[in-house]
Structure 1
Amino acid sequence: MKLRVFVRLLMPMLGLSAVALNATGAVAAPATATVDVGMTCTVQDGWWSLDRERPTQPEPVKVLAVKPLTTGTPGAWVQPQRGKLSDQQLHLALERLTDCR
């Protein structure tokens, strides 16, 4: 009983959800959408927005590499397609990328 409470409290700190554990207690890999290198995707809350009136807006990015974040969450290295940061690379969670083609 104490172990179950401990795991339930520890999982959010590790960035895991309750569905991430399988029947044996091992961490299961989360399901991710198909995102490949070279695709252009949209980040709905791009903080590098060009519009000062709307500091976060959908922004296009190009996927440079698909690699997990340091937390283990599926992620991707992306490069903004416009704005001041168009020559920079950002490491974002895959769940933030939408409309990939």
Structure 2
Amino acid sequence: MFADHWSSVLILACLAAGTTAAAAAPGEVAAGMTCTVPDGWWSLDRERPQQPEPVKVLAVKPLTTGTPGAWVQPQRGKLTDQQMHLALERLTDCR
């Protein structure tokens, strides 16, 4: 189970590193904030497999590549009990 978790994290981090979006500056994002990931791939809507999804920021930590990042947890859908490490550039509308 531990290896499966880190495999998922690595895959998600690779996906995160390859995308761009309007982003909050690293100083603007903090633990406890709710942000939006514009292309949330964990959506339950089959008609729109990627749509804006809300996430809660758990910690602001760089990715293993050194890119600014954050540990987040989806706020809806079947992955609400999971945590993901995403590039900060993917987070928008943080409050």
Report the RMSD for the aligned CA atoms in angstroms.
Answer: 1.4
More helix by share: 2
User: Quick check: which has more Rg, 1 or 2?
Assistant: 1
Residue aligning to 1:100: 94
The alpha-carbon deviation at position 32 of structure 1 amounts to 2.8
Residues 15-59 of structure 1 deviation map (CA, whole Å, 9 limit, x = unaligned) = 8xxxxxxxxxxxxxxx63510000000000000012011110000
Instruction: Measure the CA separation in 2 of the matches of 1:50 and 1:33.
Output: 31
User: Pairwise mapping of residues 60-75 of structure 1 onto structure 2 (< 5 A)?
Assistant: 60-75=54-69
- Structure 2 unaligned blocks of 5 or more: 1-16, 18-24
Which AA in structure 1 matches 2:45?
A: D
Matched length: 72
Q: Post-superposition, which runs of at least 4 consecutive aligned residues in structure 1 deviate over 2 A?
A: none
- Structure 1 unaligned blocks of 5 or more: 1-14, 16-30
1:49 maps to 2:49: no
Percent same amino acid among aligned pairs?
86
> TM (normalized to structure 2)?
0.72
> TM (normalized to structure 1)?
0.68
Greater RCO structure (CA 8 Å; 6+ sep)? 2
